Amino acid sequence: MMGDGGKVEREGWHFEIRAATGCRADDLIDQALAAAGGKGGVLLRRSRNASSYRVKTGLGTSLPEIFIKVIEPPHGLRRIKKMIRGSQARHVARITERLNLAGFAAPPVLLAGREESTGRELLVMPLVNGEGPFRALAGTLSHKRAMLRALGMELARLHHAGFVHGDLTPYNLFVARSLRFTFIDHERTRLTFPLGRRRRQLRNLVQLGRFDLPGLSRTDRMRVLRAYGDGLSRAKWRSLRRRVTAMLERRIRRGGLERARRPQPE
């Protein structure tokens, strides 16, 4: 059985067991090594920085599917940042633990690994249950409005707790029927200091608003902002709306709204 805190070396990889599951560590390591070799799971997304896979484990009902992310070694300025910040996989493991302790839904890291010869890293996490932005916006009008309001309130709660998401796009959050949100992709998520925190928080709001999603209107974007600002004073709400709108307009002038990618077929 897989428990907390163990370390395993296999095929040039150093693995750290981060969370308990109902299966053996060797079984998950086998799945991780297959994905790292490009031989396991369904490829969900590939970029120059990472590749993500959805894997059916065959390990029973305790962990039927997992998400594996293989992170490529950084280049250029990103290499300097890594020297300062350390392992991305370990950072994700630590920040998701802190998010969970603070009452936010973020998939825990079950297994973190690093390949000694290349510097590649990988993460193994449970697959998130819930809908992405396309399906959630395609529901009834009342459900859509309730979801947008809940999103604004949850983001305000996240910021009030001191967290700032590193890349808060519609692809990095899921919503359950209960309107419970799960945040994913935490390589750059941080607990921030008060100095400069507000601008980073505003950037999260701009990140959410810059995508062209079917069924998402300008009014819908304002509903998210309004829910986010409900806990603020009237003067602060006006300032928030003005600053976010200005930042988003600058972003649109530079490159327009980004066309949202269709989700991968299951």
Task: Return the higher-pLDDT residue of 51 and 129.
Answer: 51
Residue 262: its pLDDT value, please?
44
pLDDT of residue 97: 96
Question: What percentage of the chain reaches a pLDDT higher than 90?
Answer: 44
The per-residue pLDDT for range 147-184, each reduced to its tens digit, is: 999 999 999 999 999 999 999 988 899 998 889 999 99
| 92, pLDDT greater than 90 | yes
- Can 7-126 and 133-259 be said to share one CATH topology? no
18 or 139, which is more confident?
A: 18
**C-alpha to C-alpha distance for 215 and 145, rounded to whole angstroms:** 11
Using DSSP's 3-state secondary structure scheme, residue 94 falls into helix
Residue 264's pLDDT band, with cuts at 50, 70 and 90, is very low
Cα separation, 159 vs 192, whole angstroms: 9
Sign of torsion over alpha carbons 39, 41, 42, 44: negative
Q: What is the pTM of this model?
A: 0.85
Cα(183)–Cα(145) distance, integer angstroms: 20
**Where is pLDDT greater, at 258 or 15?**
15
How buried is 174 (Cβ within 10 angstroms: 0-12 exposed, 13-18 middle, 19+ buried)?
Answer: buried
In angstroms, rounded to a whole number, what is the distance separating the alpha carbons of residues 183 and 99?
A: 9
Rg of the chain (C-alpha set): 19
Mean of pLDDT over the chain: 85
Give residue 265's pLDDT.
33
Q: Which CATH number fits domain 133-259: 1.10.510.10, 1.10.10.10, 1.25.10.10, 3.30.360.10?
A: 1.10.510.10
DSSP string, 203-260: HHHHHHHTEE-TT--HHHHHHHHHHHHTTS-HHHHHHHHHHHHHHHHHHHHHH-PEEP
Q: Which pLDDT score is estimated for 30?
A: 92
Residue 257 has pLDDT above 70, yes or no: no
The Cα 216–Cα 94 span in angstroms is: 34
User: Percent of the chain having pLDDT more than 70?
Assistant: 88
**CATH class of the region 7-126:** alpha beta
Where do the domains of the chain lie?
7-126, 133-259
H or E element, residue 142: helix 141-160
pLDDT single digits (tens) 214-255: 888 888 888 898 899 887 776 777 778 788 888 877 876 776
